[in-house]
Chains A and B, each alone.
Chain A
Amino acid sequence: MAERSFAREVEDLKLGEGEIFRGEGILAITKALLQSGVSYVGGYQGSPISHLMDVLADAKDVMEDLGVHFETSASEAAAAAMLSASVMYPVRGAVTWKSTAGTNVASDALSNLSSGGVTGGALIIIGEDYGEGSSIMQERSHAYAMKSQMWLLDPRPNLPSIVKAVEDGFELSEASNTPVMLQVRIRACHVHGQFVAKDNRRPAFTLKEAMENPVRDVNRIVLPPASFIQEKDKLERRWPAAIEFIKARKLNEFFGPDEGDVGIILLGGLYNSVLRGLQQLGLADVYGNSAIPLYVMNVAYPMIDDEVLEFCRGKKAVLMVEEGAPDYIEQSLHTLLRRRDIQTHVSGKDVLPMGGEYTAPVLLKGFTSFLERWATPLLGNRPPVPDPSPVLSDDRVKALATVVPPRPAGFCTGCPERPIFAAMKLVEKELGHHHVSADIGCHLFSILPPFNIGSTTMGYGLGPASASAFNVKADKRAISVMGDGGFWHNGLSTSVGNAVFNKQDGVMLIVDNFYSAATGGQDILSSRATNPRRKTNNSIVNAVKGIGATWVRQIDRTYDVAKMRDTLREALTTKEPGPKIIVASSECMLNKQRRIKPQFNADVKAGKRMVKERFGVDEDVCTGDHACIRLSGCPSLSVKPTDDPLKDDPVAAIDNSCVGCGNCGEVSEAAVLCPSFYRADVIMNPTGWDKFLAGVRQKVIGWLQRRRENRRVLFAAEGA
């Protein structure tokens, strides 16, 4: 069960010929796959393409009707390997992941796939996680296309263009027997727009037919001498075929006047920003009319030499607009023009930054430099361009920079990972700081305040592996953290197997929250929910024991901070050799709430006796040191200024978003913090016995309270 239900979006997948699809870019791609007669879809979830996976998971009925097989792959490598179904059989397949992270994982299979080539269309949809909002290293996936000679599409970021790219992509793949990558940037994945839908298509050739009529061709297998033949085939047959198809189908586009002294060559994905930059210079309008010739490369790789030469012909200079480093296309341009001895000047990263997102202001600056050198008259009388610098240089705004706090992502309210790191903090106070290797997943938020735990992150499922060098005698052990997502992605072999085999004397903390939580709460092998379409409930503890680990502890309630702390302490101090593995399990609170809240409310409505828990702080008791917050960082545990004239500092306060996870109480108890926390249990629909008991208690307690009140000499409460 994913974090979000896509029931409504599933309806959009059923739209037929001529109907208008309205929605997010990534969902448009999903619809385009079905319109293209895809046979199978796989992938690994992750922003910005999670919704593609989620909607397909929810669209089981639609998929079954069409005979499409959908699978949540164990990793991007598994997804890429899945495309091998299209090697021998004319079936169309598509896989998806976030890139470059996922492409790195998938690259082994992708190399083999592209070397042998495909028969059926093979499409790799990559969510290019680059620029603002990205959660990974800033690299270009372009390199993969170049090194394996796969084709890379980078369509203009509007729904009709993206949908067309999916359809063209399959055909291009088939025409050139080569897998095709389709790159979509973060904002394009999330862009809301519309396109005219077509009917969904059943695959012409089914997987069943393939399985029942197997075909083999040893020349498709990457083993000498076939691998050498494949290299030749790639360069001499498949490449020209692709060029031919791209040209014939006009996948790249030309805009603006036919003639001009200068021109701009740009990747399709950057079209809207380029146009906005030109618009601000008075050189284009909102409807795409441009005063400068534009060559839009919706195919980022391969470059179509003839089209480029044609575009450059007669121009004094062209500007290449490609985002990120290195400047692969600009380099190719130089090579091409030099080889043909064409003297058109090529500009690019000389006027545009090497790295970083190409926003309209960045482009505007680059265009200005470029035009100043090559076509000053175009700049005309230089209308004013948007400029926030007078605002930003004002002292009032500068003063603001000192107070606006950074607001990085963090653990959600009630997150079960919080108490794990609170316990680590407590152990840190006892045993000192340790080297901590982190991994990928929600638990990586531990590197931020208030926990500040974790030194490196090397990749998904690689946390413990990245601590493997720290396997020498020392007074402290290295700790590594890995989530359940990373564990099943490849951590079981790469990290746990590696540690067992090499007798890695470290502590391995496996954070098990029942989902691939950071990517949107998808089910994984160890999910506790029963998923009729998947086999869940596979124990991580059994898996690590099965691979040979001996010191294994399971903690079934991470909120038990004291137990968590004691187990960690034991793992750090025990004499036992080899990896010390702690599996800390509690359900992701975001998903848990989504699961139990409706049920809880329904039960209350039905008159059942239900107990709702939340936490609170007695503000009179709180002294405003905020030690509790430094061990928590929970969004619902905050501070509030107090009207108490004798208190200088704000006191702790818990708001109504508290889900009663218990962390506050456990931490203040385990860390001997302070007695201000209380848990409030609200009994809804109390039984007769409840009411009777409460009545008796109230009588006794009330009598005692009144008795004391009457005996004490106090000022009347004023305002407080």
Chain B
Amino acid sequence: MADNLPAAAHRFATVKPVSIAILAMGGQGGGVLADWIVAVAEAKGWVAQSTSVPGVAQRTGATIYYIEAVPGMEGVHPTLSLMPTPGDVDIVIAAELMEAGRSVLRGIVTPNQTTLITSTHRSYAVSEKEKPGDGIADPNLVISATDFAAKRTIAFDMEKIAAKNGSVISASLFGAFAASGALPFERADYESIIRAGGKGIEPSLKAFGAAFEQVLAKPKEDPKAGPEKNLPPLPATAGHPALDGLVQRIRTGFPENLHPMIYAGVRRLTDFQDPAYADEYLTRLGELHARDRAEGGAAHGFAFSLEAAKYLAVAMAYDDVIRVADLKVRGSRFDRVRKEVGVKSDQLLYTTEFMHPRMEEVCGTLPRGLGLWIENNKGLYGTLDRFVNRGRRVKTGTIFWFLGLYMVSGLRRIRRGTLRHQREMDFTREWLEKASALLPVNYALATEVLKCRRLVKGYSGTHVRGTSKFDRVLSSIPLLRDREDGADWMRRLRQAALIDEDGIALDGALKTVASL
């Protein structure tokens, strides 16, 4: 047999098919893209084969399309593979950033061979979206892995390019593929394939062209994790004596590195209530900052004050009925919705809000004494709740409903006397006392305790659940106060609390802390 080898081997053709894998999600047009690539190859006299395993993945799941193409030769038929071989793929096209990551994990992107073409936009997976906290995967890990794994990377937001040109992502991916030079065809060859298609030819061509140009101009753009936090510097003047007073107080009363956050807090509270309320915020923050300073906060860059500036503002601008009504009736909100929904000038827009008020919210909005009295009068509370407690579809664009919301938002004037306000303030006081009391013993832990205010959010049941998690996390303070790594544990507890709704991870973490 060994004798046969050279004889057999020398007959072998050396031609190797170009291999192309497309990773897409159901509905992204991966099949269309594969068809286009096959069509262009066939039109140029190549033999091309594509296949896929869509199955149920057509329903929003991730799937892969695979193409092999080889120049045609008279009299022989190539045998092409129906699936990619890890370590032997020439071009990988990913229709979303995490799918590019997945392609690397599948081993089909390798440094000596693979051109990776990916859109950098994100379409979040359920596992990222469903977390009670921030479950979004870190795009930088994908970038560092693809940069290393691919021979060449073409990466930019092809979804945006498609949308901008009124088309879908398959068209812009096709443009990037064409421009990559992966197959030795001219731009016009690709365009004629799109032209031969059925519908949406012009938008497809535009998206194709835009992506094509982008590859030539700037083939690689790093994705952004999200927008920058909106933290403008303190202005010289705010155009009103009351506001200028606030700005002045920030400028003179606090170190400069805290100014942007405090300014954000002041803006929020002015918006939430009025400048006087923002002034109260500065007073309370000033007290906290004084304690921070007294406990050597300067050495920590006043981390405690910074977190206090943020979370005290969050705590004071709690989400009550008045706030919701106020946000819903604003002119700026009307404009924003028009823009988001993409309403044309000759079209009309009405919004319907889905609200479900309960007696609890009503009592909270009443003056403290009255609210408490009703709450304690179970029979009355129950009777009233039967009238109040149901879902209401509020048509904000009609005069009747608008007036209703407008009047509720007008209750802002009595807000500081309401039952809800008192409860929020009590809650806030207790939390801040816990945090401040830790300052002399464990500065870092005190700061972490402030950050735990993040756990309290939402409305009704969600709010109750968040508050309960907050309480459970803070219940570990006695166990952690004397530990050098107490702050790390507090941070871990908070992270655990944000992993799942029922607090299962948190329970586990609390057990660990108890066993320390």
One of B333-341, B377-385, B440-448, B506-514 at the interface: B333-341
Pick the residue among B8, B105, B459 that contacts A675 (CB under 8 A): B459
Please measure, in the bound complex, the distance between the C-alpha atom of A712 and the C-alpha atom of B242, giving whole angstroms. 11
Whether a CB of chain A sits under 8 angstroms from the CB of B107 is: yes
B347 touches A271 (CB 8 A): no
Query: A404-B137, A621-B324, A646-B268 are contacts. A673–B462 as well, Cβ < 8 Å?
Result: yes
Distance in angstroms between the alpha carbons of A648 and B307 in the assembled complex: 12
Whether the Cβ atoms of B59 and A286 lie closer than 8 Å is no
Q: Which residues of A contact B354 (CB under 8 A)?
A: 664-666, 668-669, 675, 677-679
- Is B220 on the interface with A (CB-CB < 8 A)? no
Residues of A within 8 Å of B261, CB to CB, are 645
B80 proximal to A (CB < 8 A): yes
Contacts of B274 in A (CB 8 A): 712-713
Q: Nearest chain-A residue to B148 (Cβ)?
A: A396
In the complex, which residues 94-137 of chain A have their Cβ closer than 8 Å to any Cβ of chain B? 129, 131-135
Residues of A within 8 A of B86 (CB): 361, 386, 388
Contact A192 B348 (CB under 8 A): no
Interface status of B108 (Cβ within 8 A of chain A): yes
Binary interface encoding of chain A residues 402-413 relative to chain B, with 1 for a CB under 8 A from any of its CBs, else 0: 111111111110
Contact, CB under 8 Å: A404 / B327: no
B458 and A397 contacting across the interface, CB-CB below 8 Å: no
Q: Could you tell me which residues of chain A, from 373 to 387, have a CB within 8 Å of some CB in chain B?
A: 375, 377-378, 380, 385-387
CB distance B341 to A614 under 8 Å?
yes
Residues of B within 8 A of A714 (CB): 270-271
Residue of A nearest to B396 (CB): A678
List residues of B (217-256) whose CB comes within 8 Å of A's CBs. Answer: 225-232, 238-240, 242-243
Q: Does A528 contact B (CB under 8 A)?
A: no
When the two chains form their complex, are residues B267 and A289 in contact, meaning their CB atoms are under 8 A apart? no
Contact with A along B1-30 (1 / 0, CB 8 A): 110110011011111110000000111000
B79 neighbours in A (Cβ, 8 Å): 158, 271-272, 275-276, 286-288
Chain A's closest residue to B127 (CB) is A405
Verify if A157 is at the interface (C-beta below 8 Å from B).
Answer: yes
> Given contacts A388-B108, A445-B59, is CB(A359)–CB(B85) below 8 Å?
yes
Chain B contacts for A396, CB-based, 8 A: 141, 144-145, 148-149
Flag if B128 contacts A639 (CB, 8 Å).
yes
With a cutoff of 8 Å between Cβ atoms, the chain A residues found around residue B337 in the complex are 616, 678, 680
Q: Is A326 an interface residue (CB 8 A)?
A: no
Point out the residue from B35, B130, B264, B349 that lies within 8 Å of A680, measured CB to CB.
B349
B17/A286 in contact, CB under 8 A: yes
B187 at interface, CB cutoff 8 A? no
- A577 CB within 8 Å of chain B: no
Given A629-B130, A675-B355: A391 touches B109 (CB 8 Å cut-off): yes
Nearest CB of chain A from residue B323's CB, rounded to whole Å: 8
Q: Are A399 and B141 in contact (CB under 8 A)?
A: yes
**In angstroms, how far is the closest chain A Cβ from the Cβ of B288?**
16
B8 touches A386 (CB 8 A): no
Cross-interface CB contact of A671 among B55, B327, B341, B461, cutoff 8 Å: B461
Q: Is the CB of A400 within 8 A of B105?
A: yes
A188 CB → nearest B CB, Å: 7
CA distance A352 to B337 in the complex (A): 60
| Known contacts A449-B130, A450-B130, A630-B501; A273 and B110 CB within 8 A of each other | no
CA distance A670 to B393 in the complex (A): 12
CB-CB nearest in chain B for A655: B123
Q: Which residues of B contact A143 (CB under 8 A)?
A: none
Report the nearest B residue to A630, measured CB to CB: B130
CB-contact partner of B141 in A187, A403, A448, under 8 A: A403
Contact of B9 among A282, A375, A409 (CB under 8 A): A282
Q: Smallest CB-CB separation from A399: which chain B residue?
A: B141
In contact, B347 and A683 (Cβ under 8 angstroms): yes
Q: In the complex, are the beta carbons of B59 and A627 less than 8 A apart?
A: no
In contact, B466 and A157 (Cβ under 8 angstroms): no
| Residue from A289, A391, A645 in contact with B104 in the complex, judged by beta carbons closer than 8 Å | A391
- Indicate if A625 sits at the interface (CB-CB under 8 A): yes
Q: Is the CB of A719 within 8 A of B61?
A: no
The answer to whether A388 touches B137 (Cβ under 8 A) is: no
Q: From A22, A388, A410, give the contact of B107 (CB < 8 A).
A: A388
Which A residues are in CB contact (< 8 Å) with B57?
133, 409
Given known pairs A187-B83, A291-B4, A291-B9, the reply for A192 and B264 (CB within 8 Å) is no
Nearest A-chain residue to B395, judged by Cβ = A681
Q: Are B462 and A378 touching (Cβ within 8 A)?
A: no
How far, in angstroms, from A273 to B470 measured CA to CA in the complex? 57
- Provide the residues of chain B in CB contact with A403, threshold 8 Å: 98, 101, 137-138, 141-142
Tell which of B56, B133, B141 touches A518, judged by Cβ atoms closer than 8 Å.
B56
**Interface residue tally of chain B, by bracket?**
35 or more
B391 at the interface (CB under 8 A from A): yes
B301 interface hit (Cβ, 8 Å): no
- The interface stretch among A53-61, A508-516, A567-575, A693-701 is A693-701
B351 with A680: CB separation less than 8 A = yes
Given A378-B1, A378-B2, A48-B264 contact (CB < 8 Å): no
A305 adjacent to chain B (CB < 8 Å): no
Q: How far, in Å, is B217 (CB) from chain A's closest CB?
A: 27
- Residue ID in chain B nearest A429 by CB atoms: B461
Return the contact of B457 from the options A407, A624, A677 (Cβ within 8 A).
A624
* Total contacts A-B at CB 8 Å: 444
Asked whether, in the complex, the Cβ of A618 is within 8 Å of the Cβ of B101, the reply is no
The reply to whether A625 and B349 form a contact with Cβ atoms under 8 Å apart is: no
Contacts of A630 in B (CB 8 A): 130, 501
The reply to whether the CB of A372 lies closer than 8 angstroms to some CB of chain B is no
A280 CB-CB contact with B under 8 Å? yes
Residues on A with beta carbons closer than 8 Å to the beta carbon of B134 = 624, 648-650
The segment from A145-153, A253-261, A481-489 that touches chain B is A253-261
In the complex the two chains form, is B398's CB within 8 Å of A697's CB?
yes
A674 neighbours in B (Cβ, 8 Å): 458-460, 462
From B78, B124, B228, B356, contact of A668 by CB (8 A) = B356
Which residues of chain B come closer than 8 Å to A48, judged between CB atoms? Answer: 55
Contacts of B230 in A (CB 8 A): 643-645, 718-720
CB of B283 closer than 8 Å to a CB of A: no
Known: A286-B80, A400-B141, A713-B240. A191 touches B51 (CB 8 A): yes
| Contacting residues, chain B, for A288 (C-beta < 8 A) | 77-79
Take A133-B53, A410-B59, A626-B131 as given contacts and tell me if A678 and B125 are in contact as well, using a CB distance cutoff of 8 Å: no
Chain-B contact segment, one of A64-72, A163-171, A211-219, A703-711: A703-711
Residues of B within 8 A of A675 (CB): 324, 328, 353-356, 459
Minimal Cβ-Cβ distance residue in B for A662: B354
The reply to whether B53 and A186 form a contact with Cβ atoms under 8 Å apart is yes
Interface pair A397/B132, CB less than 8 Å apart:
no
Complex Cα gap A571–B58 (Å): 34
B142, A408: Cβ atoms closer than 8 Å: no
Instruction: Identify B51's interface contact among A190, A691, A701, A704, CB under 8 A.
Output: A190
A576 CB–B CB distance under 8 Å? no
- By the criterion CB–CB under 8 Å, are B78 and A649 in contact? no
Q: Among B78, B110, B124, B466, point to the contact of A639 (Cβ < 8 A).
A: B124
Among A623, A671, A717, which residue has its beta carbon within 8 angstroms of that of B332? Answer: A717
Q: Say whether A621 contacts B129, CB under 8 Å.
A: no
Cross-chain contact B351 with A701 (CB below 8 angstroms): no
In the complex, how many angstroms separate the beta carbon of A274 from the nearest chain B beta carbon?
A: 10
Chain A residues positioned under 8 Å from B132 (CB to CB): 625-627, 649
Give 24 A-B contacts (CB < 8 Å), ordered by A residue.
A187-B53, A192-B48, A192-B51, A286-B17, A287-B79, A291-B4, A361-B87, A396-B148, A399-B144, A412-B27, A562-B391, A618-B328, A621-B319, A621-B327, A625-B458, A626-B130, A639-B124, A639-B135, A646-B265, A650-B136, A678-B354, A678-B396, A694-B348, A712-B274
By Cβ-Cβ distance, the 4 closest A-B pairs, closest first, are: A133-B53, A641-B226, A388-B107, A386-B87
Since A449-B130, A712-B274 are in contact, a sample of 18 more A-B pairs with Cβ atoms closer than 8 Å, ordered by chain A residue number, is A286-B80, A288-B77, A396-B145, A407-B125, A410-B61, A412-B60, A445-B59, A448-B126, A620-B333, A623-B462, A633-B130, A645-B260, A646-B313, A673-B356, A679-B354, A683-B347, A704-B329, A720-B230
